[in-house]
């Protein structure tokens, strides 16, 4: 279907739904239950990082992967430049940029500012099921990345 034939309001609502889904993805990782990120994917959804050939496929595997995040991890992700392209009433794609601030071993309180651990972009695809947009794939590209700082005292994990 030619995207020009889409109703402008239908396109606008689809773009907003997909954008909101991406923001919800990051909110769940930082402030919610990370394992519930899997619910934002289609049942056959895929998360991948081509750099180290990491590919997680299917909701159960995604739930385990995102749910394995350390309990003492403090993170905040900033996302920007979200550009959603609606291809059909049921399919869309997007690119967005992000910076991740992250430390492990956090117990409480405010930390001094740090540089981001990762800076990169996502390439996403979406499918509309009934009235809900879900991710079918999320691919992460990290041109700038480093190890997660661990605040635990020496001798503690």
Q: Give the pLDDT of residue 131.
A: 82
Cβ proximity of 151 and 112 under 8 Å: no
| pLDDT tens digits along 34-44 | 999 999 999 99
Cβ proximity of 42 and 60 under 8 Å: no
Q: Give the pLDDT of residue 4.
A: 66
State the Cα–Cα distance between residues 111 and 75, nearest whole angstrom.
11
Q: Give the pLDDT of residue 143.
A: 95
The predicted model gives 41-67 an average pLDDT of 96
Radius of gyration, CA atoms only, the chain: 17
Provide the 10 A C-beta neighbour count for residue 93: 16
Helix (H, G, I), strand (E, B) or coil at 24: helix
């Amino acid at each position: 279907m030619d995207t020009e034939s889409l109703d402008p309001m239908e396109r606008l609502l689809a773009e907003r739904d997909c954008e909101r889904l991406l923001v919800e993805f990051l909110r769940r990782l930082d402030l919610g239950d990370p394992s519930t990120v899997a619910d934002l994917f289609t049942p056959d959804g895929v998360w991948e990082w081509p750099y180290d050939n990491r590919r997680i496929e299917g909701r159960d595997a995604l739930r385990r992967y995102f749910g394995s995040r350390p309990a003492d991890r403090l993170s905040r992700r900033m996302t920007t430049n979200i550009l959603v392209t609606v291809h059909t009433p049921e399919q869309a794609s997007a690119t967005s940029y992000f910076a991740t601030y992250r430390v492990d071993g956090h117990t409480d309180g405010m930390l001094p500012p740090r540089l981001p651990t990762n800076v990169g972009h996502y390439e996403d695809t979406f499918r509309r099921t009934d009235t809900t947009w879900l991710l079918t794939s999320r691919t992460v590209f990290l041109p700038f990345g480093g190890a997660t700082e661990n605040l635990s005292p020496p001798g503690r994990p």
